[in-house]
Chain A
Amino acid sequence: MNAREEILGRIVDRPGDAVVTKDFSSFVAADLWVQFESQLVALGGRMIDAGELGDLSRGVVFAEAETGFSSSVDLVWDAEIGISVGSFAIAETGSVVVDSSPGRHRLSTLLPKVSVILVDEDQIVGSLAEGFARMPSRNAVIVSGTSRTADIEGVLVRGVHGPGELLVHRRQK
């Protein structure tokens, strides 16, 4: 008998009704972008305006084509700043969802020390549960704040393997 059959053979199911996930979140929707920003700031990130975005784009940048900016380096490994496009934001947790749609790079929000993510202003949901209801079916990452560790004496350190700075720009249509 192969491993699969043997393991499944040891399991006896007792089928019952599926449990439908209920929402226990304490989130109450108000102004979603205001709520998003306060969460983002609590996570060590911040919102930036078009002016600051323009300034940043002149640095050592790797930018996804969709952002409208051009890269100054060929490889994302060499960039100090990554400019990426996010699918949508989640107000409750201050998160941005990035996925692997064509033209996007999973590593552009990860390798550079500064990660800039552009999110269209109408692409925001309130709760995490709403976020999962519209989660892209591709490879995706929910980014909530900077890369961090508290492994050394519980001291919070930002930017271990990923970016130490997370900047989100709300893109006007």
Chain B
Amino acid sequence: MSTRVEEFARALPAETTASVRSASILKTDSRITALGVSFGDVEGARSHAAAIKEFVLANLGRLLIELEANCKKNGIHVHWARDASEANELILGLCKRALGDSKVIVKAKSMVTEEIHLNSFLEAQGYAPVETDLGEFVVQIDGDTPSHIVTPIIHKNRRQIAESFAREKIGPYTEVPEELALQAREHLRSQFAAASIGISGVNFACASTGRLVLVENEGNNRLSTTVPDVHIAVMGIEKVVPDEACLSLFLPLLAGSATGQKLTSYVHLIKGPRGGDESDGPREVHLVLLDNNRTKVLNGHYRDVLKCIRCGACLNVCPVYRQGSGHAYGHVYSGPIGAVLAPAMEGVEKLGDLAKASTLCGSCEEVCPVKIPLPHMLLQLRDEAFRAGVNRDGIPWSGFVGVATRSGIWRAGLTLLPMASSLPHPLKTKWREFRQLPQREGRNFRRHR
């Protein structure tokens, strides 16, 4: 296993591992039930979703141009950003223009803004982005990072959350989840009312209609994209889908795989800014189309990871994730998908060791709603990382390789090794004071010529 991930997992408090484990197991179970209820043929649904995503990747250029044209028709301003810093500067420019004295920006949960580290960038510029999703809010007041792409505080228990709320004076100390949620509601209402910019991600962008589709359960996403005068939506270019008909497949697949629901509480279909006959909604809507190495991934071996719809099912089912939490990976994207996506985007030389943070048990591919061949990719990454000089182990293994790749020495070893067990050894004598070793059966398991 990756030393970095393994060391982190070993140092993790038992309390954290317990939180991550129990929540992951719960979500894995509810996923199976939900998908079975939604679909007559879950396998067929997954294969079909994968085929649609394959079509998207094969026609990405055309679909993005179509999306851009239809968004503009709907009154959405479309921007393109090559990388994180270009996206951040672009968003900063929009903030400067739209924000007067108010420095408050409300944010709906979005992985892509985590990827470009938008919050710390805006904070350095004197702005106050406020995370409004309950989990992300806790992450922000703790100065922490999300440990799961769907449930960011999977690593925290109610006592830890209660302590954070009391410390930040959100409300009186309580460990009751209902009361904590209510405190967050009251606290964040004033932020929503004060903010003139709302920033969100995008789950699906429909090329044929130019509508942006956002899913959520709490309502903070709707508030962030409806109340402020300006809404900025940030999306990775791979999130485009051909039409809205495919949403009847993708939405239940995403909700089922992520949280065990048929649909999320809210599916927001954003057409554009407030029309002349509409009573509320933002005056301006901006869409930032972000590359940030996605085109590099598209043209490489790991192209299929761009099909990911960020459901987190592969994290929940992964034995390494369950043991180490998302933080062990040291990257915004964790779990099996992160172990491929992160090095594919940022380079094998830098993050190739993540490929070893896997037991290759294959569970991630089994649960993936778009059938991304993650185990195969992890193997390929290991190979690539090894060739690039990453993941090379120390002397003990080179010794083993020296023996194992020379057939003469190997065979001699196979013959000699069983004899070694009959040699006396002080440790063995001590052990035998209380136990009996089984007798050798006399057959040689590995001898074949």
Contacts and interface: CB of A to CB of B under 8 A. Distances in A.
Interface in A93-109: 93-95, 100-107
Interface string A13-38: 11110111111111000000000000
A73 interface: no
A133 B177 contact: no
Interface stretch (A49-57, A116-124, A150-158): A150-158
A128 interface: yes
Contacts of B52: 19, 21
Given A13-B58, A106-B281, A161 B249 contact: no
A41 interface: no
Interface of B: 19, 22-23, 26-27, 37-42, 44-45, 48, 51-52, 54-55, 58-62, 64-65, 80-82, 86, 132-135, 138, 151-153, 157-158, 161, 177-178, 180-182, 184-185, 188, 193, 209, 217-220, 222-223, 226-227, 237, 242-249, 251-252, 259, 261-272, 275, 277-281, 289, 291, 295-296, 298-299
B249 A2 contact: no
A103 B279 CA distance: 7
A19 to B, nearest CB: 5
A102 B277 contact: yes
13 contacts: A19-B246, A93-B262, A100-B275, A100-B278, A100-B281, A107-B227, A128-B263, A129-B248, A132-B247, A148-B217, A149-B181, A151-B152, A161-B219
A129 B80 CA distance: 32
Contacts of A104: 279
A11 B61 contact: yes
A93 B48 contact: no
A139 B272 contact: yes
Given A8-B61, A148-B218, A153-B157, A160 B251 contact: no
Given A143-B266, A145-B265, 8 more contacts: A10-B295, A131-B248, A132-B245, A138-B278, A148-B218, A153-B158, A161-B185, A163-B219
Contacts of A71: none
Contacts of B268: 141
Contacts of B152: 151
A139 B269 contact: yes
Nearest to A99: B269
A150 B151 contact: yes
A4 interface: yes
B219 A110 contact: yes
Contact of B295 (A7, A26, A140): A7
A132 B246 CA distance: 9
Interface residues of A, number: 71
B248 A23 contact: yes
Identify which of B185, B248, B261, B270 gathers the most chain A CB atoms within 10 Å of its CB. B248
B55 A129 contact: no
Contacts of A163: 219
B283 to A, nearest CB: 13
A154 B271 contact: no
Nearest to A145: B265
A39 B259 CA distance: 17
Interface in A77-106: 77, 92-95, 100-106
A99 B444 CA distance: 74
A25 B38 contact: yes
A144 interface: yes
Contacts of A140: 269, 271
B265 A148 contact: yes
Nearest to B219: A162
Contacts of B181: 149, 152, 157, 159-160
A7 B80 contact: yes
B55 A160 contact: no
Nearest to A43: B265
A127 B263 CA distance: 12
Contacts of B58: 13-16
Nearest to A10: B295
A137 interface: yes
A74 interface: no
Contacts of B299: 10, 12
A129 to B, nearest CB: 4
A140 to B, nearest CB: 5
Contacts of B86: 3
Contacts of A111: 223
A160 B272 contact: no
A141 B27 CA distance: 26
Nearest to B37: A26
